[in-house]
Amino acid sequence: MIPAERRARIVDLVKERRAVRVSSLSEDLGVSGMTIRRDLERLEVEGVLVRTHGGAVLKRHMAEETLYVERESASAEEKRRIAAAAAGLIEPGETIFLSSGTTAAQVIRHIDPSLEARIVTHNVGAIQEARGLRVEVVLAGGLYRPRSNAVSGPLALEHIARFHAGKMFIGVDGFDLEEGLTTPTMGMAGVERAMIAQTRGEVIALADASKIGVVADVVICGLDQVDTVLVDDGADEHVRAELSRLGLRCVVV
């Protein structure tokens, strides 16, 4: 097998498995680990994948934002578990920033009805989950984006600047070990960067396995600005190990 054919086969295996190990590729393709590492390095430069400690994960590009209603039904059980785990981290009396997105909206659904806390959000979908709760929900003003079911713009930024939060829960469109947290929408990214800047405690990313390895065009933040990642058990164990190696707390639900 010539090098170009071998690299093409590696790409096929990464697409099939979403994450691969150098040792397994070496065995599958009958070449040395050093050869595989050189191939992975070249494929990373080409933007096909991201190398991890001992392997690689697939990198997928997200060109445009999907409709909110389409995202609600995707990975529903995984999102439910992540949202429930996030809700359990909210302390009585705490102020929380909550990002846009369907997983973030579900966090409110799982809050203890007796809990008194404050949620500051630009996520219109979250408001629909707040009925019957004692939490105070502050919805930032701004330009409503139906595709995101959230608001953005200068007014939203002004509202966010009036609060400090003990934690921020940030749902993601793209979560990549190299590129960090990304989204296709500049307006959403701007509001969520403002929330991160106003957070005095943990920034907690909510990332089901389908989001890992996805890269959109607008950067929200790098992983150095994230403290904890809540993932479902479908997230590849090598990705979870890499997150821990990078100093993030990775919680599997």
- Any idea what the CATH number is for the domain that residue 23 is in? 1.10.10.10
**φ, ψ dihedrals at 83, nearest 5°:** -65, -40
By residue range, what is the domain housing residue 106? 68-252
> Same domain, yes or no, for 18 and 75?
no
- pLDDT exceeds cutoff 90 at 60: no
> Same domain, yes or no, for 190 and 156?
yes
- pLDDT exceeds cutoff 70 at 98: yes
Q: What share of the chain has pLDDT > 90, as a percent?
A: 62
> Same domain, yes or no, for 36 and 137?
no
CB 148 within 8 A of CB 188: yes
Pairing type for strands 180-183 and 218-221 reads: antiparallel
Q: What single-letter amino acid sits at 184?
A: P
> Same domain, yes or no, for 110 and 213?
yes
> Same domain, yes or no, for 12 and 83?
no
By the 10 Å C-beta count (0-12 exposed, 13-18 middle, 19+ buried), 47 is classed as exposed
Question: What is the mean pLDDT of the segment spanning 110-123?
Answer: 96
> Same domain, yes or no, for 34 and 121?
no
Last residue of a domain, one of 58, 79, 98: 58
- pLDDT exceeds cutoff 70 at 84: yes
Confidence of residue 79 (pLDDT cuts 50, 70, 90): very high
Better pLDDT: 51 or 150: 150
- Of the candidate ranges 22-31, 106-115, 154-163, the one whose mean pLDDT is the lowest: 22-31
> Same domain, yes or no, for 54 and 72?
no
Report the CATH number that the domain containing residue 220 is assigned in CATH: 3.40.50.1360
- pLDDT exceeds cutoff 70 at 69: no
Beta bridge partners of 144: 151
> Same domain, yes or no, for 118 and 215?
yes
Pairing type for strands 249-252 and 228-231 reads: parallel
Average pLDDT, the chain: 91
Rounded to a whole number of angstroms, the CA Rg of the chain reads 19
What are 26-56's pLDDT values in tens digits? 999 999 999 999 999 898 888 788 787 788 8
What's residue 200's pLDDT? 97
Question: What is the mean pLDDT of the segment spanning 97-115?
Answer: 95
Structure tokens at 31: 């070449």
Judge whether 187 lies within some domain: yes
Structure tokens at 137: 């929900």
What's residue 20's pLDDT? 85
Structure tokens at 77: 């059980």
- b vs e for 223-239, b when ≥16 Cβ sit within 10 Å of the residue's Cβ? bebbbbbbbbeebbebb
What are 214-240's pLDDT values in tens digits? 888 899 999 999 999 999 998 888 888
What's residue 63's pLDDT? 65
Judge whether 110 lies within some domain: yes
> Same domain, yes or no, for 49 and 125?
no
By the 10 Å C-beta count (0-12 exposed, 13-18 middle, 19+ buried), 122 is classed as buried
What's residue 66's pLDDT? 66
> What letter would DSSP give residue 250?
E
> Same domain, yes or no, for 225 and 197?
yes
CB 247 within 8 A of CB 227: no
Question: What is the mean pLDDT of the segment spanning 65-82?
Answer: 77
- pLDDT exceeds cutoff 90 at 181: yes
Judge whether 63 lies within some domain: no
CA of 7: how far to CAs of 10, 12, 45, 190, 200, in Å?
Answer: 5, 9, 13, 38, 45
How many domains is the chain partitioned into structurally? Answer: 2
Three-state secondary-structure class, residue 80: helix
> Same domain, yes or no, for 79 and 199?
yes
